[in-house]
Structure 1
């Protein structure tokens, strides 16, 4: 290498040598926090001259396969266009594909932003603040006006679409964290209560996206922190729908961890908040869908069906019933949601028809993995080993292809149900295949 930066060091560690941060630091003979600092700095951070020589030596001594991986990754990264304010969606997807998952350093940076944002959101007496003085103290930063807010909102929308399109959701995280930094900085220099509230709405939106990234990676505590901040920001903005969706996402963590009784009160709150929102949006119907999952977990078929029937009323709405980001419920997911609820209730007669309809629909690969896992669970309940193994194998392939923590978690739940069939060769083989997910998510 002519000059090593943090970006090349990360490629050497992750792609070429396939080492953990700690093992790579030990190889170089330096503290792991130094490597974290390099990688966080990316292409803008250049290690000192003596470290340049050490990195050269490590690359020279690597085996041929590792050197080939490094050269290929370096060529591919250099071909990726820079993300600029006017970047097209395809450029954003290309960039996120090159970004590795978050580490402890970047998570701490997010917590710093959350702490700052939480303080700024909670500032009392907004009407009494001297906004002109705040502007003067903002190191010459430009005024946050309607045009700037429009740019911020557009980038929020881009990031949600990148998240939806990304094969591995966590690759979206560095871009989200960077834009959160921009929004929090803007919140420090906002001018007037209306701009402050609009910035809070944008922050409520983007912290929900950060939470979704963590949730998909099975980092539920981190996701809960994000959803909590998003709910506070939505409340401050007076954005009832944003506030309700943040509460619902937070409650869904409890649903997913089978803590249904704990999740129910928060969903009741979310339903109350959603009732004050925009009647043209689908928020309240999405809340009902999650409430149906809670009722299924509690074994109440009648209450579950009532909630699903209420959610089905989303089809009576007209116009734009959802956003492209924080609210994406339009009723198209109801067949798979019904199927999942009926599997939980062990009502095979109701579940099979709903899940088959979901599988025939045009759904994302990640959602298909969830439906396949539910069909495998249905096969297990009916002691239909063909259905169990065929659908579970297909779901495993989806999990391996997408890296989705959500699908992996569902497969972990399936694995825990296989014990009664231990000793059956096909089941034992499937159990061994699923064991990797159990280890990763337990």
Structure 2
């Protein structure tokens, strides 16, 4: 018996199995096809999920390991070296990040000017293009429609960096740091965590070279988010600690440091640290003391408008269900009155309310909110909402014997997380 057979015998789909381990579904596929082997730090958790000891796990991996040794020498670990990673990012992202119809949505004169500006390599035009791309990305109901179409934009940035003055080079690095963050957002929403983390790393590097502390800190926050969603909460707190220090060197009129605190709260909740979580949430809420908007609507969008739902979600993580439900219902009502609330945000609130029903062993609450979140996931094709719902299935517990809950689980299982 191999890894795939053991997984199937325990009733896991690849998506469920990947979720349990905190890895991408594609990573599980590579293990099972014998293309890579799990890294040593992952193996104790892998053995636990498969309900075997480490010796039995090694036996399960023997066919894949033998095949790898015969075909290509020593087995590779599931890790990308710098050169391989750079090549992957170039294939997936570096050539361009944009939106279908982005230029067509602009006035003809503006569209032509932006296209010409990109070809010339003007840092001002790159920044203007980035601003439009963020706007279209945020407004897109289906994130899958957002994909690379502006060929060689980042390649052009790299070329211009070698021939411009130091001042212009810093501005171009800032544009690249901005664009790499958007690349990461596209990957993250598509459940491609490795690609997202790589893009955020490049964004942080470019932002550091640009001397843009707020842009740099935001790249680190997004990188930490990957760790949070893969349940590496301690790793996330380490990255966020660095982001916090960098944000303090930035513009105090911006909301960067408050966004750092908001994500720190999520990491602390994952670690079970109630006091630290509430302290971070309180710091995040101080964003409301800023006189100006405090954000640019692009790579920095934190304005405190979702703090009610964030607090509710953190209380769910910490098991404080009464506090969580009160905050989440307030967020749901507030979102229904607000214009332009994203499917992603509303789906997350509905999923958390369904999770509260599961924890309380209340099938009616679980089904009511679960179906609403499921409908949003279908309408938006959001990988994020789909992932949240996949996680909800792990909360079913004894309610899984209820036929209605079983049906909901089957519908969730049919969702694509990519």
Q: 2:143 aligned with 1:169, yes or no? A: yes
Q: 2:289 aligned with 1:292, yes or no? A: no
1:17 match: none
CA contact (8 A) 1:170 1:214 kept: no
CA contact (8 A) 2:214 2:250 kept: yes
Question: Could you tell me how far apart the structure 2 residues matched to 1:178 and 1:162 are?
Answer: 20
Q: 2:385 aligned with 1:412, yes or no? A: no
2:180 to 207, 212, 219: 207
CA contact (8 A) 2:225 2:263 kept: yes
The alpha-carbon deviation at position 152 of structure 1 amounts to 1.4
Q: How does 1:135-284 map to 2 (within 5 A)?
A: 148-175=122-149, 178-189=152-163, 191-284=164-257
Q: How does 1:2-13 map to 2 (within 5 A)?
A: none
Q: How does 1:3-42 map to 2 (within 5 A)?
A: none
CA contact (8 A) 1:180 1:203 kept: yes
CA contact (8 A) 1:369 1:407 kept: yes
2:378 match: 400
DSSP 3-state at the match of 1:368: helix
1:308 match: 281
The alpha-carbon deviation at position 305 of structure 1 amounts to 0.4
2:107 match: none
Question: Could you tell me how far apart the structure 2 residues matched to 1:393 and 1:403 are?
Answer: 15
Q: 2:74 aligned with 1:109, yes or no? A: no
The alpha-carbon deviation at position 354 of structure 1 amounts to 1.0
Deviations, residues 344-398 of structure 1 (Å, cap 9, x unaligned): 1111121111111111122222211111101101111112211110111010111
DSSP 3-state at the match of 1:173: coil
Q: How does 1:420-439 map to 2 (within 5 A)?
A: 420-437=398-415
1:320 match: 293
DSSP 3-state at the match of 1:279: coil
The alpha-carbon deviation at position 107 of structure 1 amounts to 6.0
Question: Could you tell me how far apart the structure 1 residues matched to 2:386 and 2:93 are?
Answer: 26
- Scaled by the length of structure 1, what TM-score is found? 0.66
Question: Could you tell me how far apart the structure 1 residues matched to 2:390 and 2:134 are?
Answer: 27
CA contact (8 A) 1:176 1:210 kept: no
CA contact (8 A) 1:159 1:172 kept: no
Question: Could you tell me how far apart the structure 1 residues matched to 2:396 and 2:150 are?
Answer: 39
Question: Could you tell me how far apart the structure 2 residues matched to 1:171 and 1:178 are?
Answer: 19
CA contact (8 A) 1:159 1:176 kept: no
2:362 match: 384
The alpha-carbon deviation at position 106 of structure 1 amounts to 9.2
Deviations, residues 2-51 of structure 1 (Å, cap 9, x unaligned): xxxxxxxxxxxxxxxxxxxxxxxxxxxxxxxxxxxxxxxxxxxxxxxxxx
CA RMSD of aligned residues (A): 2.1
Question: Could you tell me how far apart the structure 1 residues matched to 2:194 and 2:294 are?
Answer: 30
Question: Could you tell me how far apart the structure 2 residues matched to 1:365 and 1:225 are?
Answer: 26
The alpha-carbon deviation at position 184 of structure 1 amounts to 3.0
Question: Could you tell me how far apart the structure 1 residues matched to 2:287 and 2:261 are?
Answer: 10
The alpha-carbon deviation at position 181 of structure 1 amounts to 3.6
Structure 1: runs of 5 or more not aligned:
1-104, 115-140
CA contact (8 A) 2:184 2:200 kept: yes
Structure 2: runs of 5 or more not aligned:
1-86, 97-117
